[in-house]
Structures are given as C-alpha cells and as structure tokens.
Amino acid sequence: MATAERRAKPLPGRSKGAVAPGRRIALVTGAGRGIGRAIACRLALDGAMVFVNYRSDRVAALGCVAEIIASGGVAQAVRADVSDAVQVRNMLARVRRDAGGLDILVANAGVAPLARSLAAVTPSMWRRTMETNATGAFFCAQAAAPMLACSGSGRIVFIGSVAARLGGNIGPHYAASKAALRGLCSSMGRELAPSGITVNVVEPGYVATDLSTAIHRSVAMRRRMRAEVPLERIGTVEEVADVVAFLAGPGGGYVTRECIAVAGGR
C-alpha cells in the first residue's frame, strides 16, 4: 500500500487536521544544540514537523524551536531522558497525541565524558555513556517502531561516530557506545525492513561543535586534527545534517543497514 494511502488513515487518537496533509513527522533526540540542532532545522526546512527532544537544557531546545518557526517551519520541544524507558514511551505518546504519527526518528542524544586513558574510565562514566548513547538509542527505536511501521516509509537514523571503528580521542567507553549502534542498525534493519522501515547509522568524524572545541582547545591540537583528515579540514554540522536528510527522505528509501561516515575520508 502506498505511503500516502497508509497515512490517510489516522492512527488511533489522531485528531484530523492536527498536521497538514503530506507533512512528515520527525523526532530528533538531543536536538538543542550542535549536530542535533542542525538536523532538526534541516528536516524542518525539508517540510517535516519536528519534535525537538531535550533532557535538561530547555532553553536550548526552545531556541531550536524558535529558529525553526522563524524559518517558516513547525516544531515543538519535548522533554525526556532517553536512558529512561518510561520517559521515552511517554515522549512517543505525546508525539502520537500531538501529531498522530511518526515518520522519522533521529537518535542523536549522547554524552561524551572525556577519558584520556583506559584507567581514567570510571564505572559511573562507563554506565552513563552506555545508558545514554546505546541504551537510549535502543529505547527510542523500540518505542518508535510501531508508529514508524504505520508510516509505510519509516526512517531510523542513529548518530554514531567514526570512533566506533577508529577508537577516537574521547575514550574506549565512548567508542564502545557508538560501536553498539552498528549492531542495533544491522539487527533492527533486518527485522523492520518488511514494515518499510530503513535503519542506518551516520558516523561523523571531526565536526565543529562545542564538544570538539572543548577537546581540542589549542591551535596545535586543531592543526593535528586537520592533518588526520584526507580532505584537510573540519566538517560542519550542516554537512552531517545533509546526509541525515537524504536518508530520511525519498532518495534514501533503498538504503538500509548501512553505516555512513561523514568524516572527510578518515
């Protein structure tokens, strides 16, 4: 059955006219700043109604919503700690109540506590990183899957990192949490394919964000960082958002179970 035909039948509890016909619904976790914010803004620019998830920084999330609305888009902020399964289910229930369905999930929320050595990774650091980056992504995808199946062309995009295969500079806890997304992508992508849902991982490399600036503070460190990139420059959050938008759009309909690096050749 065609996507438009499937979406023409409102999901249970959907109020008719809640969302303009043809407008896709997206949820982006951790969307208050950085890569998540750029993705939310890009999906809104492409016509999606975007739910901007945040855990604690309400001001940043509302700033993202305001930016989208100022550009003519539609957005709402929605609070949830993605590492809490109950909060995730409540968040998806709100999306269903306010928009009637879901077409796109971008699991972007993550933490990256810096550990310069294996010995520096504490048990609490390990748990926090895995619970947010890996478990949180799983909870969101698990809760969203039934709604995405009703879309007929659902999309799940996990935001990983090239650290999953290169190790990276943040620490083994972070690399392990991002490597877990590769396994989720492969398993979920196969299971959900019959429902028309694609599942992919976008893996940024060195990208200009608050996090990368905090890690690479000195000019010398940033010079070394650029030297590791074949394209000899740092990426932008907009370049990551462009790839996510492709996967979330009609052009990405035959791409699934893939890990796509946005890393300048690293």
Catalytic residues: 174
CA distance between the termini of the chain: 41
DSSP-assigned letter for residue 209: S
Closest CA to 146 of 183, 110, 197: 197
- Cα separation values, 133 from 100, 108, 128, 139, Å: 27, 8, 8, 10
